[in-house]
Structure 1
Amino acid sequence: MQAQRQLLFGMYMDAMRMDEVIEHCRTALITRRPILLGVLNAAKVVELRRNAALRESLMECDLLLADGQSIVWASKLLGRPLPERVAGIDIFSRLLLLAHKEGRSVAFLGAKPDVLAEMLHVVARRFPGLKIAYSHHGYYEAAEAGQIAAGIRESGADMLFLGMTSPKKEIFLGSYGASLGVPVMHGVGGSFDIMAGLTKRAPIAWQKCGMEWAYRLLQEPRRLWWRYLKTNTSFAQLTAREMFHPDHPFLAGANHRVTSGSPMLPDAQLRSIADD
């Protein structure tokens, strides 16, 4: 039975729990029919209204899930509820466990070379014997993307994880995902940094009450306070507008123009935005 989809902020989102997501991925591995996972948080809701590449790539996802707790809260407030937050880092961990248990191979793309190397060491310790078919850092030139895609395709990996910020990871998946021959593809944002121990994740109690963003803010207040203020304010405005004037679904290839009611963030604040 197909999970219910909810139209939120012009995007169709899948009302699924974590176990359902993992089961869909297991089916993709068995049938070799590719599944592209996408996640949506407050920052992306704001950015996709003016970034056509990001918007198109999200629309191409087979599953679009609520990475941010703010999305779940907004869905319930708007009467189109999503059952729970399905965070990208948690999907990442669960899929690594699945690959380890079932002898599947994985590929990694993203992060700085030293961070990627440390993450690979951590993964090897946590999942001894895990088959790593391919890895490449995320600081490559645009002209190299095709060559990297070819390397992933030739590796025969069962799963691909992209540890890059938005919209770079969505653009790569949108451009090359269909040609990679990888059954499970997932853009995990800053999860490589977390797995490598470079970024400390909030305690479970903070996560459950939707305050993971505040925990990160306490760690880096100078760098993050203005970004979170702008993002949260813009998202709150969009949610309020959605209550009275719900967005029509975005159309693939449509030239969506931002109106005065669509707040947006400056480019510099969205290049390295983290999942909320």
Structure 2
Amino acid sequence: MSQMQNDAGIGRVPVTSIFGVNVSKLDMKGTVAVLERAVASKKPHQVITANPIMIMAALESEENMRAMREAELIVPDGAGVVWAAEEFGDPVAERVAGFDLLHELMKRGEELGWTAYLLGAAEEVVQEAAGRLQKQYPKVRIVGVRNGYFGAPENAGVIESIRQAQPDLLFVARDAKTQEPWIARHKHELGASVIMGVGGSFDVISGKTKRAPIFMQKLRLEWFYRLAKEPSRLPRMMALPQFMRKVKKAKKSME
């Protein structure tokens, strides 16, 4: 079992390496415990919820790979990542879906009086998501809400508003190409302890879209459900068979 040493306050995390990306082997409970220490440390921690598409993007983009390698914690969000770890003979404890981790952190925040900031998605979506989360977790103070549609001219102002709020948890929902590199570039300026990319989670929380049924999640078919609902995702999803072929080829070369 390999371990990743983290000097920012969360200690050692057991990891499995998937094409140079160190993915945490902790289960959900262990992940939340580690991130509780991260909040207590008052130091920035980037949490990446990794799926096969993100790993393939990292293999093709130096900036994405740098974000992966510099992240304090990478959790196995995608079923394909869990499968790859099994194929390589170094399995993770379980899938740690980013959507579920967000809610588990909010639950812990209820007990410990944490604060949260929501950044990303369209204005009506992020506002609705914030309202629903505040109602569900009233003891977590949501100290800021901002849509994800901003470019370089607005960047400094967005960073400053987050830094002034000093949230314990910063959830970022931007497009796949922007999300992780943006967090990696600015995490030391943001004044947040746990900074996690959450993809389309605000869409689900706000009610704009629905998550796959539990039985499809258990069958590791959540990707198929999303594709059926959003056919426009097909070009992006083509990375999945590429990833599977790459895993099979790598496994064969290990035998």
Offset from partner CA, 1:21-71 (integer Å, 9 cap, x none): 110111122232332211211111211111121111111111111110111
Q: Does 2:186 correspond to 1:176?
A: yes
Instruction: Give SS of 1:81's match.
Output: coil
Q: Does 2:191 correspond to 1:147?
A: no
After TM superposition, give the deviation of residue 143 of structure 1 in Å.
Answer: 2.3
Q: Does 2:242 correspond to 1:234?
A: yes
Distance of 1:216 and 1:11 partners within structure 2? 25
Counterparts of 1:104-143 in structure 2, within 5 Å, are 104-143=114-153
Instruction: Tell me if structure 1 keeps the 8 A contact 2:85–2:92.
Output: yes
TM-score, normalisation: structure 1: 0.83
Q: Which residue does 1:257 correspond to in 2?
A: none
Distance of 1:146 and 1:189 partners within structure 2? 22
Q: Which residue does 1:223 correspond to in 2?
A: 232
Distance of 2:156 and 2:80 partners within structure 1? 35
After TM superposition, give the deviation of residue 226 of structure 1 in Å.
Answer: 4.7
Instruction: Tell me if structure 1 keeps the 8 A contact 2:82–2:94.
Output: yes
Q: Which residue does 2:51 correspond to in 1?
A: 41
How many residues are paired up?
244
Offset from partner CA, 1:88-114 (integer Å, 9 cap, x none): 111111111222222111111100111
Aligned residue type for 2:232:
R
Q: Which residue does 1:96 correspond to in 2?
A: 106
Offset from partner CA, 1:104-132 (integer Å, 9 cap, x none): 11111100111111112211221224311
> CA 1:172/1:225 → structure 2, altered by over 3 Å: closer, same or farther?
closer
Distance of 1:155 and 1:132 partners within structure 2? 10
Q: Does 2:34 correspond to 1:24?
A: yes
After TM superposition, give the deviation of residue 194 of structure 1 in Å.
Answer: 0.8
Instruction: Tell me if structure 2 keeps the 8 A contact 1:9–1:242.
Output: no
Instruction: Give SS of 2:60's match.
Output: coil
Q: % of aligned pairs identical?
A: 27
Q: Which residue does 2:86 correspond to in 1?
A: 76
Counterparts of 1:193-212 in structure 2, within 5 Å, are 193-212=203-222
Query: Which has a greater percent of strand?
Result: 2
Q: Which residue does 2:20 correspond to in 1?
A: 10
Q: Out of 5-14 and 84-93, give the one that drifted further.
A: 5-14
Instruction: Tell me if structure 2 keeps the 8 A contact 1:13–1:64.
Output: yes
TM-score, normalisation: structure 2: 0.90
Give the number of the structure with larger relative contact order, counting CA–CA contacts within 8 Å between residues 6 or more apart.
1
Instruction: Tell me if structure 2 keeps the 8 A contact 1:8–1:80.
Output: no
4+ runs deviating over 6 angstroms: none
After TM superposition, give the deviation of residue 245 of structure 1 in Å.
Answer: 4.5
Instruction: Tell me if structure 1 keeps the 8 A contact 2:134–2:142.
Output: no
Q: Which residue does 1:260 correspond to in 2?
A: none
